[in-house]
A and B are shown apart, each in its own frame.
Chain A
Amino acid sequence: MPAVAQQSTEQMETLNDESVRTDLIPIFIMGKEYDVPSTLTIQKAFEYAGYQLIRGCGCRGGICGACATVYRLPGTAKINVGLACQTVVQANMYLTMIPFFPANRAIYNLDDLKPDAQTVLKYYPELAKCMGCNTCTKSCPMEIPVMEYISAALRGDIEQAAEISMSCVMCGICAARCPAELGQYNIGIMCRRITGKHIKPRAEHVREMIERVNTGRYEEPINGLINSDIETLRKLYVERQMEPHTAPEEWTPDLKDYL
């Protein structure tokens, strides 16, 4: 079978209208040299070089954490980190992706967890081995002060650990770099789930609405809409009262019949 690909999508991401890129720079993918356009992200550079990514590629938008990458620039010993989909290539960078990291993950039943330090230590005893080196913080592509949330978890401030770790994309670079062998991102999500479930007050208005729905009070009004002709429906739609943008939380509409 000939090498026929879906021509319509080919190269759309990597190249714009220019057919020949003149701004090529050398990069070293796992030690091997490839010339790639200087404006590409590391992810698109892999593709430009000829790779078809299977691992190390997910959302392509900096949120799924699939494309953890470490790299070094010439003339320095420093190991830099980034998400391949978010980091633009630099000349002569040496790089590799870390598409998977086998960090420890505890299995737990959220309902049974108590929001205190003992809980986290019970499931993640390695937490106590943290030596405060701050390598995790320095290696976070989301610029999260990782060590701060680990310290918070250690002293039992689960809520603070949750809040600090909120924008974690679970890429695993922190764990890959940690000399104490912690799986920070797994500790982070445990703290967030404990916070969401056991620390933050429950939203009572949600329960109230669930009960109202269960009583069947909206059945008839909604069935009425289902059975309306399209003109009636359009009219109701156009005339429905809009909550003003700047209205306070306690705003109420004039018509309360269908609440």
Chain B
Amino acid sequence: MGYTPDLLELIKKVEKTRQLRVNRKKAGEEFPALTLEQRKDRLEKYHPDYRAGALRELKVGPSKGYSVAQEIADQFEAKSRIDPDKIDLDEVHYETDVLVIGGGGAGTAAALLAEEAGAKVIIATKLRHGDANTMMAEGGIQAATKSWKDSPYYHYLDVMGGGHFENDPLLVKTMVSEAPKAIGWLESLGCMFNKWPDGKMFTLHGAGTCRKRMHYAGDMTGAEIMRTLRDEARNRIKNIGVLEFSPAVELLLDDKGFCSGAVLFNLETEEYFLIKAKAVVMATGGSGRLHMQKFMTTNHYGATGDGLVIGYRMGVKVRFLHATQYHPTGAVFPEQSEGLLITEKVRGAGANLVNIDGEQFVFEREPRDIESSSIIRECEKVRKGIPVPGQKGKFGVWLDSPMIDMLEGIGTVEREFPAKFILFKRYGIDISKLPMLVYPTLHYQNGGLEYKPDGYTSVPGFFVAGEVGGGVHGANRLMGNSLLDITVFGRLAGESAGKFVNERTEIGKLSVDHVRQYHKELEATGIVTDRVSPMVLPDYANPEVRKRQLTTTYIGSLR
């Protein structure tokens, strides 16, 4: 366990330049940041989104003609898991006011607010309640809460700059203005943010921020938020029911075109069930498990873009799906930690990125897409990456975490990054003394379904919150704005849905005509495929075993 002798030898080169780099930082000298023109150049030359063949024009659906990542296009240009002619729409198994699809942070926040608006809620989720990317978010949550140096105005500028000024301005305005309220709400639910003795919250820089506004709970901010929201939902069991291992595989409309529920699939008994609801909040998160361009991913097991697919099939447009976020620092060594996120807070706390010669090659707080492109450039063009042991052709760069103890005092790494410290300790690596080997890893779906600030979409009764939606982050999300996104827009969508059901008196005859139409459109376009979507679970099973499962039929990746 631990680093190989070769790597330990290479680490000496990092140690050689470390003191000098620490001294420079202490003197306030930073590696020069790229200009906007240089950023553009770096993206176009090195970002995976710009590679030939990365994108494909959609041939069907409401955003026909728009180019998105190939892997997402595959999911869109596929048939439903259900046969619209076979499903019995009169056999309804569950009925509720608000159906929340997705049991992560956005979904749970929506459930809580819908409940507060007086609605009965059911959360349907594919894995367990809380098994979501929210749980894995580490670094923090942005909000301008310190009025002596920051305001939503500056937060707005940072978000727009990070997203290359393409973001939906009204969504951004809503997110930054609601941000302080989101922090106050989480605090009132008992989230343990790191604080000074007087209650003032610690805040740090993230990449692309002009003020230190990253609030955090150690390096497990998302876990702290997720388990708190989940615990609160469990206390409201009278009005918030949870169906686990029950992903939604299709949405239901009624004869007036209102979204009226969903078809759920019980993963364990392999049965399909109908759930009827006066409003549906879609909060299924992202799609990292589609492994765009075969990149490894930081995403949790269920991130297969299900909500994106069934929302699109129902007629909701998508945007910004041409932009996928690669987190600059995913672990590449040891093998069992591959793809694991190393929080940006490590760089926010001052750790440099350095190459095989121990040289810094990029400012460590560039926006994520720029930082990732720079790492890819260093490995592919400059050829100063560090070869990953046992993995031919794979390279990484050093994330020099020991600098943090030198800058902030011995023990800082262990105190500020307890989860990563323990994890690497298990692999025999002390990250307060040795750097980590990292490479960009598929992290976030910047785009998604179109929605308005209050969660409304083009389909009445259908609301969207969190990563499944697109627009607020433009083409590139900044660190700490995802936990903020799910909290702010989860709350708003839940509140809207809760109010909506008070006014919707009845549900008309249920229909899956939109699925029938979609299938016709696929046929008319000449797309011949036996793909089905949503994928539901990724397929990592041994293909040799699959070959021998002679009595089993697979539909997509599921039996």
A57 — nearest CB in chain B belongs to which residue?
A: B301
Stretch at the interface among B139-147, B444-452, B456-464: B139-147
Measured between C-beta atoms, what is the minimum distance from A225 to chain B in Å?
6
Per-residue CB contact flags for chain A residues 1-21 toward chain B (1 = under 8 Å, else 0) read 111111011111110110000
Partner of B199, one of A40, A197, A204: A204
Contact B296 A12 (CB under 8 A): yes
Which one of B153, B183, B392, B542 lies within 8 Å of A218 (CB-CB)? B153
Q: How far, in Å, is A106 (CB) from chain B's closest CB?
A: 9
Q: Is A238 a contact of B541 with CB atoms below 8 Å? A: no
Q: Does B527 contact A (CB under 8 A)?
A: no
In contact, A60 and B300 (Cβ under 8 angstroms): yes
Question: Contacts of A22 on B, CB cut-off 8 Å?
Answer: none
B38 lies within 8 A of chain A by Cβ: no
- Encode contact with A along B534-559: 1 for CB under 8 Å, 0 otherwise: 01011111110111010011111111
Contact A64 B130 (CB under 8 A): yes
Most buried by A among B200, B218, B301: B301
A contact residues around B309 at 8 Å (CB): none
| Cα A110 to Cα B184 with chains together (Å) | 15
Interface residues of A in 170-209 (CB under 8 A from B): 170, 189-190, 192-197, 200-209
Cβ of A30 under 8 Å from chain B: no
Task: State the Cβ distance, B102 to closest chain A Cβ, in Å.
Answer: 14
Tell me if B153 and A86 are in contact (CB < 8 A): no
Establish whether residues B228 and A193, one from each chain, have CB atoms under 8 Å apart when the complex forms: yes
B525 at the interface (CB under 8 A from A): no
Chain B interface bracket (under 10, 10 to 19, 20 to 34, 35 or more) = 35 or more
Q: Is the interface of B mostly helix, strand, loop or mixed?
A: loop
Of the listed stretches B11-19, B47-55, B419-427, B516-524, chain A binds B419-427
Asked if A47 is an interface residue, CB under 8 A from chain B, the answer is yes
A105-B234, A205-B200 known; A218-B552 Cβ under 8 A = no
Q: Which of A72-80, A131-139, A249-257 contacts B (4 or more CB under 8 A)?
A: A249-257
Q: Is the CB of B540 within 8 A of A62?
A: no
Given contacts A6-B556, A86-B423, contact A201 B128 (CB under 8 A): no
Residue picked from A6, A41, A105, A142, most chain B C-beta under 10 Å: A6
Cα-based distance from A234 to B160 in the complex (angstroms): 9
B375 proximal to A (CB < 8 A): no
**Residues in chain A near residue B545, CB distance under 8 A:** 49-50
B95 adjacent to chain A (CB < 8 Å): no
- Whether B540 and A189, one on each chain, are in contact in the complex, defined by CB atoms closer than 8 angstroms, is no
Tally of contacts, chain A with chain B, CB under 8 A: 306
B271 CB contacts on chain A under 8 angstroms: none
Q: Does B57 contact A (CB under 8 A)?
A: no
Partner of B136, one of A1, A59, A88: A59
In the complex, chain A residues whose CB is within 8 Å of the CB of B298? 61
CB of B381 closer than 8 Å to a CB of A: no
Stretch binding the partner chain, chosen from B22-30, B83-91, B474-482: B22-30
In-complex Cβ contact of B245 among A47, A55, A194 (8 A): A55
* A129 surroundings in chain B (CB, below 8 A): none
**CB <8 Å contact, B144 and A193:** no
Contact of A206 among B25, B180, B296, B426 (CB under 8 A): B180
On whether the beta carbons of B28 and A246 are closer than 8 Å, the reply is: yes
Residue ID in chain A nearest B146 by CB atoms: A205
Measured in the bound complex, the distance between the Cα atoms of B146 and A204 in whole Å is 10
Question: Residue of A at shortest CB range from B201?
Answer: A203
Check B350 for interface membership: any CB of A closer than 8 A: yes
Q: Which residues of B contact A32 (CB under 8 A)?
A: none
Q: Does A66 interact with chain B (Cβ within 8 Å)?
A: yes
Taking a contact as CB atoms under 8 Å apart, the answer to whether B235 and A108 are in contact is: yes
Beyond A50-B545, A243-B205, is A64–B135 a contact (Cβ under 8 Å)? Answer: yes
Q: A17-B393, A58-B301, A205-B201 are in contact. List 20 more A-B contacts (CB 8 A).
A: A3-B547, A9-B540, A11-B540, A14-B542, A52-B540, A53-B301, A53-B537, A57-B127, A59-B131, A60-B301, A86-B336, A86-B426, A110-B232, A166-B418, A196-B190, A200-B192, A203-B187, A234-B165, A237-B165, A243-B211
Q: Which 8 A-B pairs have the closest CB atoms?
A: A193-B190, A201-B199, A50-B545, A58-B131, A196-B190, A197-B190, A258-B153, A237-B161
Interface residues, chain B, with chain A CB atoms under 8 Å away:
25-26, 28, 30, 36, 71, 74, 127-128, 130-131, 135-136, 143-154, 156-158, 160-161, 165, 169-170, 173, 176-177, 180-181, 183-184, 187-193, 195, 197-201, 205, 210-212, 217-218, 220, 223, 227-228, 231-232, 234-235, 237, 245, 267-268, 289-291, 294, 296, 298, 300-302, 335-336, 338-341, 350, 390-394, 418-419, 422-423, 426, 530-531, 535, 537-543, 545-547, 549, 552-559
Supply 22 A–B pairs (Cβ within 8 Å), ascending by A.
A1-B553, A2-B530, A9-B539, A12-B291, A13-B338, A13-B540, A52-B559, A61-B298, A62-B423, A66-B131, A166-B217, A167-B218, A167-B220, A192-B190, A196-B192, A201-B197, A203-B199, A204-B199, A206-B184, A209-B147, A222-B176, A245-B350
